[in-house]
């Protein structure tokens, strides 16, 4: 028993160091410098992003006007993490896409700040400070904004930022995914190997389901089924109306970790893995789609963290090997040759009209025509 406990502790410590060092942090000369993978949102003719510690808006009608509406209190703060020294990273470093609802821009930042800004003028409507790091994005339902920070789930009034629960919902494990609201229930996973279903109004836990691996991906809900991948190389389908019990006889086995959120199209679930594979599995049976036969594997074998996007008959997915891939939905073959860029693609894409937008690790936006497989334009998000 002693040996088992010691080995379990070592594995947990190695996992914590690996995942934090690999995915979220960088210790450079003894300093912790979170760089983020900033997501994008499009509303009307404007593309919004948290870019390099700033809140920026790109006018898509001319693609030349970039408006900076960063709050004036974006000073630097010191912190310590995994033995690293203080950080000079800006307060607005983000690992998720902002949400624009009506005329208000909402986002969470790595140091635990939640902001609501006027999307036109940039005036700050409110901000709210949590006690922990925010990795996943906000989600809005009615007059409520739900966001995870550290191991807690918060529900805030979108009008003024006031908490709508007496205290946050505490899971005891870090939450890195964006919660999903379906009906009146919030669904999310955490690094403590659990998926939760929580009542949006009462904060009561409806059910929780434990697994063998940590969960960092955002759930996908189709009808009464929740699809989610884990960091122990498995992908699950859960019955949300039946206490989260598995629907398939056994989980789908993958080659590596699954962090990306899956997408659904006509009975098939699509997602990428950290081993450079893209999977297409039957939503009902949990078996590989017979049209594909086997996963699509990149030559580099590098990680897929970004969510796939579907445009027409093409699945578009960005990789940390600096490529964007376009695959035929029916058979998994290449619809067009991979598009190569200079930096990792880690943030989820955004679909608007006939265009799929990606932002790479160096805050450059790429507009892709997914059906033709060409880049229509690119733009570095930066201001003087």
The pLDDT score that the predictor gives to residue 31 is 41
Question: Which of 310, 270, 307 has the alpha carbon at shortest distance from 289?
Answer: 270
Q: What's the predicted TM-score (pTM) here?
A: 0.89
CB distance 368 to 332 below 8 Å: no
Tell me what pLDDT residue 354 has: 84
DSSP codes, 105-141: EEEE-TTSEEEEEETTT--EEEEEE-SS---SPPEEE
Residues 6+ apart with CB under 8 A from 203: 155, 165, 169
Instruction: Classify residue 167 by burial, with Cβ atoms within 10 Å: 0-12, 13-18, 19+.
Output: exposed
2/4 Cα distance (integer angstroms):
5
pLDDT tens, residue order, the chain (384 aa): 444 344 444 445 445 544 554 455 444 333 445 566 778 999 999 999 988 788 999 999 999 999 998 887 654 443 433 334 444 445 578 899 999 998 999 999 999 999 999 998 889 999 999 989 999 999 999 999 999 999 999 999 999 999 999 999 999 999 999 999 999 999 999 999 999 999 999 999 999 999 999 999 999 999 999 999 999 999 999 999 999 999 999 999 999 999 999 999 999 999 999 999 999 999 999 999 999 999 999 999 999 999 999 999 999 999 999 999 999 999 999 999 999 998 999 999 999 888 999 999 889 999 999 989 999 999 999 876
User: Which pLDDT does position 35 carry in this prediction?
Assistant: 60
Q: Report the pLDDT value the prediction gives residue 80, as an integer from 0 to 100.
A: 39
The full set of domains in the chain, from first to last, is 254-384 (2.40.128.630)
Cα-to-chain-centroid distance, residue 104:
21
Can you give the pLDDT at residue 307?
Answer: 96
Residues in CB range of 319: below 8 A, 6 or more apart: 272, 276, 298, 300, 302, 303, 304, 306, 325, 344, 345
């Amino acid at each position: 028993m002693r040996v088992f406990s010691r080995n379990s502790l070592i594995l947990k410590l190695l996992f914590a160091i690996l995942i934090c060092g690999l995915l979220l942090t960088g210790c450079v000369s003894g300093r912790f410098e979170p760089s983020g993978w900033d997501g994008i949102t499009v509303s009307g003719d404007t593309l919004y992003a948290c870019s390099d510690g700033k809140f920026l808006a790109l006018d898509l009608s001319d693609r030349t006007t970039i408006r900076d509406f960063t709050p004036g209190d974006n000073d630097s703060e010191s912190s310590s993490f995994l033995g690293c020294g203080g950080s000079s990273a800006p307060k607005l470093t983000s690992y998720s896409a902002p949400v624009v609802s009506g005329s208000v821009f909402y986002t969470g930042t790595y140091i635990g700040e939640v902001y609501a800004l006027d999307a036109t003028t940039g005036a700050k409507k409110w901000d709210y400070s949590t006690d922990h790091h925010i990795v996943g994005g906000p989600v809005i339902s009615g007059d409520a904004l739900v966001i995870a920070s550290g191991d807690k789930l918060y529900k805030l009034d979108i009008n003024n930022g006031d908490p709508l629960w007496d205290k946050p919902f505490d899971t005891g494990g870090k939450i890195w995914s964006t919660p999903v609201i379906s009906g009146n229930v919030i669904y999310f996973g955490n690094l403590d190997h659990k998926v939760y279903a929580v009542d949006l109004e009462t904060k009561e836990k409806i059910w929780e389901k434990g697994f063998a691996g940590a969960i960092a991906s955002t759930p996908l809900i189709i009808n009464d089924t929740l699809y989610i991948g884990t960091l122990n190389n498995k992908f699950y389908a859960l019955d949300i109306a039946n206490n989260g019990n598995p629907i398939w006889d056994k989980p789908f086995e993958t080659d590596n970790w699954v962090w990306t959120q899956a997408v659904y199209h006509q009975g098939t679930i699509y997602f990428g893995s950290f081993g450079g594979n893209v999977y297409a599995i039957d939503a009902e049976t949990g078996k590989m789609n017979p049209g594909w036969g086997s996963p699509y594997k990149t030559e580099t074998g590098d990680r897929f963290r970004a969510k796939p996007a579907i445009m027409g008959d093409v699945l578009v997915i960005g990789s940390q090997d600096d490529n964007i891939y376009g695959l035929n939905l029916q058979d998994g073959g290449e619809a067009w040759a991979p598009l190569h860029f200079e930096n990792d693609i880690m943030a989820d894409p955004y679909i608007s009209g006939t265009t799929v937008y990606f932002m790479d690790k160096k805050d450059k936006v790429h507009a892709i025509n997914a059906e033709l497989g060409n880049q229509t334009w690119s733009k570095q998000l930066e201001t003087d």
